[in-house]
Chains A and B, each alone.
Chain A
Amino acid sequence: MIKVEGLTKRYARNVAVDHISFQVEKGQIVGFLGPNGAGKTTTMRMLTCFMPPTDGSAEVAGFDILDNPMEVKKRIGYLPESPPVYPEMEVIEYLNFVGRIKGIPTAGLAKRIDEVMEKCAIADVRRREIGKLSKGYRQRVGLAQAILHNPDVLILDEPTSGLDPHQIMETRDLIRGLSGDHTIILSTHILSEVEATCEHVIIIAKGKLVATDTVANLTSRLHGAEMVSVEVAPRAPGSDGRQFLSQVQQKLEQVAGVSRVLHKESRDSRERFSVESLQGRQIRPELARAVIESGWNLNELRSVGLSLEEIFLQLTAEHKPEEVAAPESAAAPASGGESGEAQ
């Protein structure tokens, strides 16, 4: 649905986006992740034909952004970082205006507006002036604007920024509800957002592509392993804490498939460990068995995975995209060499 090849945006003094290549398939929700100033907004603005790229090309819904911007614009819904609303207009009036400039036939427009207002839960404020709405409502009006003409591709720039936690949840639910009909790219600098809403992730930093993969794959591929949190307590309290700790640590390290055991904390003679497995090994059953057989209490055994936070820090610190670019993944770079050359 979206094909980006060597997309570059150069300004007089700096390079905002540097040879980015990726693909997004139909119906996917892709998180566009990067710290502030990484080039997320610039990339999105190029995809929406707001500004032309300096170099490279991109295809959206089968049309080139340079050769056929009108066709691309018809098939794209865009929510910029601050919703592009006119504060003096009423909600319904605004959507009417947007519908007209997006080229929706006037015959079906009123019905479509009703549908979209229902979907975005703004029907109750249809006659209110947008400038007098809360930030959350305004954001949803912006979202309604983006999906009004039922575009193939939705591009959302930081859709949850500036909202309170409740509104963030609502917006995420709304976005998840839109997937399937639409291909969605949403940008964010919040990692948990990607984990919560997206299937795929594209990570960029300083204008360069760092990684593209599914969220699950990326987690496991980076460490290639499972991370398990284990909490163990002695059956009879009162025994020597330090001795117990070293006994447990030793025991856990001996379990087959374990690569590393880290002691996290001790509390009331309960010991918490973080255990990392070797590549592709399931260690939880063995861990449980080892603890029970040694006569200790197993208080907790939980797979934690690697948080995107850690992945992100690692990836952006390393800055070696060719090592992490996975050609087999669905959202892989269009050409592995390109992102390598960009270095």
Chain B
Amino acid sequence: MNVLTICRKELSSYFRSPIAYGVMFFFALIAGYFFYIATVSFVTQGLRAAMMGQSQPMDVNEWVVRSLLSNIGVIGLFMTPMITMRLFAEEKRTGTIELLITSPLHDYEIILGKWLAALILYGAMLGVSLINLLTLYLYGKPAWKPMLIGYVGLLLQGGCMLALGSFASACTRNQIVACVAGFGINLLLWVVGWVSSLDSTTLTRTVGYLSIVDHIDSFSKGILDTKDAFFFISMIFLGLFLTGRAMESIRWRA
């Protein structure tokens, strides 16, 4: 109940500030561009294949949906810190955090409410890109299940980046710092997967396992892999747990 109250309040302030609109506008623009590129290259490749006499038809899901979904993940890397930067930093700067902490609320209610609001905004943003994919149905019949699974994966990946972004926001009272730190964490977890291409010792495999890109691959392909889902869910828990710790430190240091 309290979680929903906090969540509603956060959502209403998202949509009252330019942040929500800015994030969604640029996302729609970039996602639309990626979709356009993917579709055009699919069509030209398809034509070329037909001219060369290939009988096997090309898969729309493989060519358009999968490429768009994995590109959306990259956009999310940039967008999520902008969504989470104000969550706690703003309240700490204006002092409204005192209202929340001195109200009969548990910390987890505040954190979950805020994270949920960020996730809903991220979901709405993803929803905008769905319009692109729906136009595919005008010309063909792409399978909808892999698409759905792809979006579930994006939502999980987004939730994980948002949880880590909340942590960055809870650590500072400066929104810019929160944004930069959140982006830094995201980027690190992105590129950390590259080590696994060096060799395959236990260390590199362990570090590479933390990569939030590698785990989205199965979802983009339309495969619901519980191992990857488990990874994202545990990362979400970790992010929210760290946020809780950071909130506690507000009390001890304030």
Q: Say whether A39 faces chain B, with CB atoms less than 8 Å apart.
A: no
Least Cβ–Cβ distance between B106 and chain A, in angstroms: 8
Residue among B6, B13, B94 making CB contact with A84, cutoff 8 Å = B94
Task: Name B68-103 residues within 8 Å CB distance of A.
Answer: 94-103
Binds B, one of A49-57, A314-322, A327-335: A49-57
Task: Digitize A75-90: 1 where CB-to-B-CB distance is under 8 Å, 0 elsewhere.
Answer: 0101011101111110
Query: Do B5 and A50 have beta carbons less than 8 Å apart?
Result: no
Measured between beta carbons, the chain B residues less than 8 angstroms from A93 are 12
Closest Cβ of chain A: how far from B190's Cβ, in Å?
Answer: 33
Residues of A close to B251: CB separation below 8 A: 50-52
- CB pair B5 A97 closer than 8 Å: yes
Contacts of B101 in A (CB 8 A): 49-50
Within 8 A of A (CB), among B1-58: 2, 5-6, 9, 12-13, 16-17
Of all chain B residues, the one with the shortest Cβ separation from A85 is B96
Bound form: Cα–Cα A70–B101 in Å: 10
Q: A300-343, CB under 8 A of B: which get 1 and which 0?
A: 00000000000000000000000000000000000000000000
Minimum CB–CB distance from A242 to chain B (whole Å) comes to: 61
Q: Which of A45, A81, A93 has the most C-beta atoms of chain B within 10 angstroms of its own C-beta? A: A45
Q: Do A74 and B5 contact each other (CB < 8 Å), given the known contacts A84-B94, A85-B96, A98-B99?
A: no
Contacts of A51 in B (CB 8 A): 251-252, 254
Some 17 contacts from A to B, beta carbons below 8 A apart, are: A45-B98, A48-B98, A50-B101, A50-B251, A73-B104, A84-B95, A86-B94, A87-B94, A88-B13, A88-B17, A97-B9, A98-B99, A101-B2, A101-B6, A101-B100, A101-B103, A101-B105
Q: How far is the CA of A51 from the CA of B25 in the complex (A)?
A: 41
Task: Please determine whether B95 and A52 come into contact, CB atoms closer than 8 angstroms.
Answer: no
Q: A100-B5, A101-B5 are in contact. Are A84 and B104 (CB under 8 A)?
A: no
Contact A86 B95 (CB under 8 A): no
Bound-complex Cα distance A100 to B5 (A)? 7
Is the beta-carbon distance between A73 and B103 smaller than 8 angstroms?
A: yes
Whose C-beta in chain A lies nearest to the C-beta of B1? A100
- A86 cross-chain contacts in B, Cβ below 8 A: 9, 13, 94, 96
Q: Please measure, in the bound complex, the distance between the C-alpha atom of A160 and the C-alpha atom of B215, giving whole angstroms.
A: 56
Q: Is the CB of B5 within 8 A of A45?
A: no
Q: Are A76 and B252 in contact (CB under 8 A)?
A: no
Against B, the Cβ 8 Å flags (1 = close, 0 = not) of A135-153 are 0000000000100000000
- Report the minimal beta-carbon distance from A9 to chain B, rounded to whole angstroms: 10
Residue of A nearest to B98 (CB): A80
On chain A, the residues within 8 Å of B2 by CB distance are 100-101
**A70-B104, A102-B104, A103-B104 known; A78-B98 Cβ under 8 A:** yes
CB-defined contacts of B94 to chain A, threshold 8 Å: 82, 84, 86-87
Chain A residues within an 8 Å CB radius of B96 = 84-86
Q: When the two chains form their complex, are residues A80 and B13 in contact, meaning their CB atoms are under 8 A apart?
A: no
User: Which bracket fits the contact residues of B?
Assistant: 20 to 34
CB-CB under 8 A from A49, the residues of chain B are 101-102
Which A residues have a C-beta under 8 Å from some C-beta of B?
Answer: 45, 48-52, 70, 73-74, 76, 78, 80-82, 84-89, 93, 97-98, 100-103, 145
B49 to chain A, nearest CB (A): 54
Residues of chain B with a CB closer than 8 A to A84's CB? 94-99
Report the nearest A residue to B17, measured CB to CB: A88
Centre residue among B9, B97, B252 by max chain A CB count within 10 A: B9
Whole-angstrom distance between the Cβ of A223 and the nearest chain B Cβ: 40
Q: In the assembled complex, how far is the CB of residue B112 from the closest CB belonging to chain A, in whole angstroms?
A: 14
Q: How far is the CB of B111 from chain A (nearest CB, A)?
A: 14
Question: Are B252 and A52 within 8 A (Cβ)?
Answer: yes
Q: How far is the CA of A101 from the CA of B94 in the complex (A)?
A: 18
Shortest CB distance A298–B (Å): 55
Instruction: Give every chain A residue within 8 A of B97 (Cβ-Cβ).
Output: 84
List residues of chain B with CB within 8 A of the CB of A88: 13, 16-17
Q: Report the Cα distance A247→B71, complex, angstroms.
A: 100
Q: Which of B202-254 contact A (CB under 8 A)?
A: 251-252, 254
Q: Is B5's CB under 8 angstroms from A78's CB? A: no
Nearest CB to that of A52 among chain B residues?
Answer: B251
B 95-154 contacts with A by CB, 8 A: 95-105
Whether B95 contacts A82 by the Cβ 8 Å rule is yes
Q: A50-B254, A51-B254, A88-B13 are in contact. Are A76 and B5 (CB under 8 A)?
A: no
Can you name 19 extra interface pairs (CB under 8 A) apart from A50-B251, A84-B97, A101-B100?
A48-B98, A48-B102, A50-B98, A50-B101, A51-B252, A51-B254, A74-B104, A76-B102, A84-B95, A84-B99, A87-B94, A89-B13, A93-B12, A98-B103, A100-B2, A101-B2, A101-B99, A101-B103, A101-B104
Which A residues touch B103, using CB under 8 A?
73, 98, 101-102
Cα distance A84–B12 in the bound complex, in angstroms: 17
Most chain-A CB neighbours within 10 Å: which of B17, B95, B98, B252? B98
CA distance A49 to B17 in the complex (A): 31
User: Which residues of chain A have C-beta atoms less than 8 A from B17's C-beta?
Assistant: 88
- Assembled-state Cα–Cα distance A335/B17 (Å): 53
Q: How far is the CB of B117 from chain A (nearest CB, A)?
A: 13
